[in-house]
């Protein structure tokens, strides 16, 4: 493909519900972070906002997976 050529692919930004985040945090045993998420995050949260929230709580996807006993 030529540099600068369009690929025709669309990027879809998916919002995550606040409740999904709260449930995952509680499942990981992070009740204080879950309480904060419930109190501060909007109903629908973009991936960027989730990333910022996790960073402000010294969390990452990898650390959450580890706490929940899963693998990425």
For residue 4, being part of any structural domain is answered with no
For residue 10, being part of any structural domain is answered with no
For residue 1, being part of any structural domain is answered with no
**Dist CA 37 CA 8 (whole Å):** 36
Show the tokens assigned to 59.
């969390």
**Dist CA 47 CA 21 (whole Å):** 11
Considering only residues 69 and 58, tell me which one the structure prediction assigns the higher pLDDT: 58
Residue 14: what pLDDT?
65
pLDDT in tens, 13-61: 667 899 989 998 999 899 999 999 999 999 999 888 888 999 999 998 7
Residue 25: what pLDDT?
92
**Is residue 72's pLDDT more than 60?**
no
Show the tokens assigned to 38.
């419930």
Give the CA count within 13 Å in the CB-facing half-sphere of 12: 3
Q: Is the dihedral of CA 53, 58, 59, 60 positive or negative?
A: positive
**Is residue 12's pLDDT more than 60?**
no
**What is the domain count for the chain?**
1
Residue 15: what pLDDT?
75
Residue 17, beta-bridge partner list? 44
């Amino acid at each position: 493909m030529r540099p600068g050529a369009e690929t025709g692919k669309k990027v879809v930004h998916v919002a995550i519900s606040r409740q999904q985040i709260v449930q995952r945090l509680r499942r990981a045993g992070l009740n204080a972070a879950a309480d904060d998420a419930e109190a501060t995050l909007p109903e629908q949260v973009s991936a960027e906002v989730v990333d910022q929230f996790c960073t402000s709580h010294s969390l990452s996807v990898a650390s959450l997976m580890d706490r929940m006993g899963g693998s990425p």
